Amino acid sequence: MSTIYDVARRAGVSPKTVSRVLNSDGPVGEKTREAVEAAMRELGYVRSNAARMMRAQKSGIIGLITGAISTKNQPSTQQGLPDLYIVQGIQRALESSGMTVMIADTAGRNDRVPHLIDTFLSHRVEGLIYVAEYHQEVNLTQLPDDTPLVLANCFDARGTPAVVPDDRRLQRDLVRRLIAAGHRRIAYLSLRPDMVAGRLRPQGYREALEEAGLPFDPALLQHVDFDQPEIGPQLLWDTIDRMLQLDQPPSVLCCGNDQMAMMVYGILRSMGRKVPDEIGVAGFDNYRAIAETLYPPLTTVDLPYNAIGVRAGERLMQLISGDGRNDHSPVQVAGPVHWRASVTELRPENVISFKTPREEKQ
């Protein structure tokens, strides 16, 4: 691979002049510039990042640690790959800055994280982002260095800058919407309470009920460990069965996530209950491969992974450029409700208030 020296020789100038052409510092004569550019083209010259970053003491590299790519071995993981969208968002946010993103995968083993961090440091990354597979608290080994770190989809006790989904608010918005559609008996099938989402989402559910003056019925809030290998479907079946046996059964089942909702579809139909006519189903995530393909399509709320990534990327760029605003509270990100055919509008008159001005004009 050719170097600036090769280019310089071919163009009959000094290496420094080639450098000037490359970087547009200092002045370069018109003819010289053309000669240099021609030489570069002819040699297929590509500038060496290694030499460059060595001199400049800047790598232009951002390190990204994620389990996204190999999450499937973990037993209790729900759908698996959503945090890929976070990575996508990060890339989008960093694209304009000219940074190169280097992604390392934990391969499902958290004990490899220190090694990955070491590799990144040896590349002299200018910043690090750790992306968790699902909203959780983490505890990374302290970075020995002053390299900035941002946590995405997770947080820690040290107050490291973090960006997380606003589970509470998202669930509240969805349940609000269900209430607005006329539903009064809303069941909530929650994820395990040892997951952050399994705690925050039920909170949002209860908040929406309270706001609307609806009573909270403990019988309608159940935690279900639905993704257990064997017994998961049984647990879910049993929980739904009990709810439907109640004196006042629910008119809609709110599920902890879209994958649970998919399983609920099958169970309800095996029970001979029609969705949405006899009972509605709502999800959480807007995991589109599921939500849009299910039949009928699933009402759910957008867990904005993309936005989380973008925000995390932006936050990191701030830190790198020295904007050390010590915001110890994590950034919370929310997203829109997606209303689809899996829940009926019990009171059609309510629908009107949800039309946009534009639609009303038509």
Partner DNA sequence: CCGTTTCATGACACCGATGTCATGACACCG
Partner DNA sequence: CGGTGTCATGACATCGGTGTCATGAAACGG
Residue 27 near DNA by CB under 7 A? yes
Q: Does residue number 218 form part of the binding site for DNA (CB under 7 A)? A: no
Angle, alpha carbons 63-68-72 (nearest 5°) = 150
DSSP string computed for 231-265: THHHHHHHHHHHHHHSSS--SEEEESSHHHHHHHH
The one-letter amino acid code at 43 reads L
Distances (CA, A) of 349 to 186, 338, 343, 345, 353: 20, 19, 15, 9, 8
CA 356, 361, 362: angle at the middle one, nearest 5?
A: 105
124 or 184: CB nearest DNA:
124
Binding of its own copies at residue 92 (CB under 8 A)? yes
Cα–Cα distance, 166 to 201 (Å, whole number): 9
Q: Does 343 bind DNA (CB under 7 A)?
A: no
Residues within window 165-194 making contact with its own copies, judged by CB under 8 A: none
> 199 vs 288, which CB is nearer to its own copies?
288
Determine the Cα–Cα distance for residues 309 and 330; give it in Å rounded to an integer. Answer: 13
Per the listing, tokens 């040290």 go with 158
**87 lines the binding site for its own copies (CB under 8 A):** yes
H-type alpha helices, 167-255: 167-180, 196-211, 232-245
- Picked from DNA, its own copies, none, the partner binding residue 259 (CB below 5 to 8 A depending on kind) is its own copies
Per-residue contact string for residues 32-71; x = within reach of DNA by CB under 7 A: xx-----------x-xx-xxx-xxxx--------------
| CB of 15 or CB of 296, closer to its own copies | 296
132 binds its own copies (CB under 8 A): no
| Per-residue binder mask for its own copies (CB under 8 A), 3-42, x = binder | ----------------------------------------
Residues of this chain that bind DNA (CB under 7 A) = 1, 3-5, 12-20, 22-23, 25-29, 31-33, 45, 47-48, 50-52, 54-57
